[in-house]
């Protein structure tokens, strides 16, 4: 995959905690509750080293998706550790 095939802009992982308490499923009115946002370090897709057989654009995007999912899960774990 050529580096120019991936976006050059950063993707910033984020985890937002407490939104369900503010607007529970099926409800129409907001409740005043605490909401916290955790912002991760930007990931630059065109600078991510491709691993293994990631020679296609699809596999590069799959690898990038996995990285972003891991980053969001780390932010979620961090949010629970700071409660």
At 9-58, the pLDDT tens digits run: 899 999 999 999 999 899 999 999 999 999 999 998 877 776 665 467 77
Question: Residue 9: CA atoms inside 13 Å, Cβ hemisphere, count?
Answer: 2
* pTM: predicted TM-score of the whole model, two decimal places: 0.77
64-69 mean pLDDT: 93
DSSP state string for the chain: --GGGS--S-B--EEEESHHHHS-TT--S------EEEE---B-GGGSPP-TT--SHHHHHHHHHHHHHHHHHHHHHHHHHT-
- Distance CA(39)–CA(72), nearest Å, equals 9
How open is the CA angle 30-31-33, to the nearest 5 degrees? 125
């Amino acid at each position: 995959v050529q580096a120019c095939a991936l976006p050059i802009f950063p993707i910033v992982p984020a985890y937002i905690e407490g939104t369900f308490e503010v607007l529970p499923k099926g409800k129409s009115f907001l409740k005043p509750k605490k909401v916290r946002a955790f912002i991760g370090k930007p990931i630059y897709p065109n600078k991510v080293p491709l691993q293994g057989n990631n020679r296609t654009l699809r596999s590069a995007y799959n690898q990038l998706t996995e990285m972003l999912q891991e980053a969001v899960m780390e932010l979620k774990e961090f949010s629970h550790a700071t409660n």
